[in-house]
A and B are shown apart, each in its own frame.
Chain A
Amino acid sequence: MELVCEGIAHRYGALDVLAGIDLAVQPGECLALLGPSGCGKSTLLGIMGGLLAPSSGRVVLRGEAPASSLNPITYVFQDFALLPWRTVAGNVALALEHRGLSKTEMDARVADALARTSLTEFRDAFPKQLSGGMRQRVGIARALSVDPAVLLLDEPLSALDAQTRDLLMEDFLKLWLASRTTSVYVTHNLQEALRLADRICVLSRRPGRIKEIVALDLPQASRGSPDAARRMAEWAEHLWHLIRDEAAVAEREVANVR
Chain B
Amino acid sequence: MELKANDLQIGYGEHVVVDDMNLNIMRDKITTIIGPNGSGKSTVLKAVTRLIKYQKGNVILNGQNILSMKPKELARTIGVLPQLHSAPSDFRVKELVSYGRMPYQKAFSGKSAEDERIVQWAMEATGTWQFRDKSIYEISGGESQRVWIATVLAQKPEILFLDEPTTYLDISHQLETMNLVKKLNRETGIGVVMVLHDITQAMEVSDHVIVIKNGRKYAEGKPEDVITSKMMWDVYNVECDIVPMPGREKPLIAFKQIV
A and B interact: no
Q: State the B residues within 8 Å of A (CB).
A: none
Q: State the A residues within 8 Å of B (CB).
A: none
